[in-house]
C-alpha cells in the first residue's frame, strides 16, 4: 500500500545498542545516538531495554537501582531530552522495588522540556530454558501491574517492554493509540523466530505504528541479542530496520495514514469481545 506523507507527519527514532557492564561507556554511546536521532529530525526517540547495563551478573542491575525521580540514569535521560528538545522513551531503568533484592524494570518517558510524563513497569517477566540457554527475569525483577499510555503532541502512545510483546491483551487494554513502543533485548533464539512477526501483528491488530528499539549483537557477557530494531506502520509494513550493532533507525509517523487505514478497514470498531463497541 503506497501513500503520500501528510503535513502532520512526525519523525520518530529507535536506538539500537549492544550494552555491556560499563554504565558510563553505555551512556556515552547512547548519548551520541540520541544526538544522531535528533539531528535527523526525530521528535521522539526511544532507547532499548537495559540500555545502561547488560552484565553476566544479573544482580548488577539491583546494585544500580534508583528511587523514582532521582539518580544518575534518570538525570541522564532528563538532561538528554531537554538538551535535544525531544521526547525520550528511556528504554528501561532499574528502579527500586518493594522487594529489597529486586528491581522494577521501568520505562520512563521524558518530554522535550525534561519532565517525566510517564512510567511503565514491565508486567510480563521472561523465562526461557533450552539446553544451556536459560533466563529467569523473576529472580531479580518484580513485575508491574498497570497498563500505561500517555498523550503526546503527535498522538497517544502505549508502553510495553520486550516479553510483553507476546501478550496481545496488554495492547488491547491500552485503547486506541497512534504509537506502541517496545524497548527490548530479545534473545537471538527467540528473536529470529518471532520478533518481526509479533511486532507486525501488533501494528496490524491495533492499526498503529510500532517503534521497537532493541539490543542487537554479542555482548561482553557472552549474551547474544537479536537486534533488528524496527519501525512498522499501521498496515504492518516495516519502514526501517537495523539488523545488528549500535545505531539509529528513523521513520515518519503519519496521523492521516492511521486514520485512512482505520476508515477503510474499521477492525477496531468491529470488535465484539473485550470491551469492543
List, for residues 14-48, the tens digit of each pLDDT value.
999 999 999 999 999 999 999 999 999 999 999 99
- The DSSP-derived string for 194-252 is IIHHHHHHHHHHHTSEEEE-BBEEE-TTS-EEE--EEEE-TTS-EEEEE-SSSEEEEEE
Residue 275 pLDDT: 55
Integer Cα distance of 92 and 100 in angstroms? 19
Annotated catalytic residue 244: no
Percent of the chain predicted with pLDDT > 70: 97
Spell out the domain ranges in the chain.
Answer: 10-264
State the catalytic residue, choosing from 66, 122, 208, 244.
122
Residue 131 pLDDT: 74
Cell 533485548 sits on residue: 185
What digits encode the pLDDT tens for the residues 203-254? Answer: 999 999 999 999 999 999 999 999 999 999 999 999 999 999 999 999 999 9
Show the DSSP H helices in 105-216 as ranges: 168-173, 188-190, 196-206
Annotated catalytic residue 122: yes
pLDDT over threshold 70, residue 1: no
State the catalytic residue, choosing from 66, 162, 208, 244.
162
Annotated catalytic residue 162: yes
Residue 46 pLDDT: 98
Domain 10-264, CATH? 3.60.110.10
Amino acid at each position: 500500500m503506497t501513500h503520500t506523507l501528510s503535513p502532520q507527519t512526525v519523525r520518530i527514532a529507535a536506538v539500537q545498542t549492544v550494552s555491556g557492564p560499563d554504565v558510563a561507556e553505555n551512556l556515552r554511546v547512547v548519548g551520541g545516538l540520541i544526538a544522531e536521532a535528533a539531528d535527523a529530525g526525530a521528535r521522539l526517540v526511544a532507547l532499548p531495554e537495559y540500555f545502561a547495563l547488560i552484565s553476566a551478573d544479573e544482580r548488577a542491575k539491583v546494585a544500580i537501582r534508583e528511587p523514582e525521580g532521582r539518580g544518575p540514569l534518570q538525570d541522564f535521560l532528563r538532561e538528554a531530552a531537554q538538551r535535544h528538545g525531544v521526547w525520550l522513551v528511556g528504554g528501561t531503568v532499574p528502579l527500586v522495588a518493594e522487594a529489597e533484592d529486586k528491581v522494577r524494570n521501568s520505562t520512563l518517558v521524558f518530554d522535550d522540556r525534561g519532565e517525566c510524563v510517564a512510567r511503565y513497569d514491565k508486567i510480563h517477566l521472561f523465562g526461557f530454558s533450552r539446553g544451556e540457554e536459560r533466563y529467569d527475569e523473576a529472580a531479580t525483577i518484580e513485575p508491574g501491574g498497570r497498563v500505561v499510555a500517555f498523550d503526546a503532541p503527535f498522538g497517544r502512545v502505549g508502553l510495553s517492554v520486550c516479553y510483553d510483546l507476546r501478550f496481545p491483551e496488554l495492547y488491547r487494554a491500552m485503547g486506541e493509540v497512534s504509537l506502541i513502543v517496545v524497548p527490548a533485548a530479545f534473545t537471538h533464539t527467540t528473536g529470529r523466530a518471532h520478533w518481526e512477526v509479533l511486532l507486525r501483528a501488533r501494528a496490524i491488530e491495533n492499526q498503529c505504528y510500532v517503534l521497537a528499539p532493541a539490543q542487537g549483537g554479542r555482548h561482553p557477557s557472552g549474551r547474544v541479542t537479536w537486534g533488528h530494531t524496527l519501525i512498522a506502520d499501521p498496515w504492518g509494513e516495516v519502514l526501517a530496520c537495523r539488523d545488528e550493532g549500535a545505531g539509529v533507525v528513523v521513520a515518519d509517523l503519519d496521523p492521516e495514514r492511521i486514520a485512512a487505514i482505520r476508515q477503510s478497514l474499521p477492525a477496531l470498531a468491529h470488535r465484539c469481545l473485550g470491551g469492543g463497541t
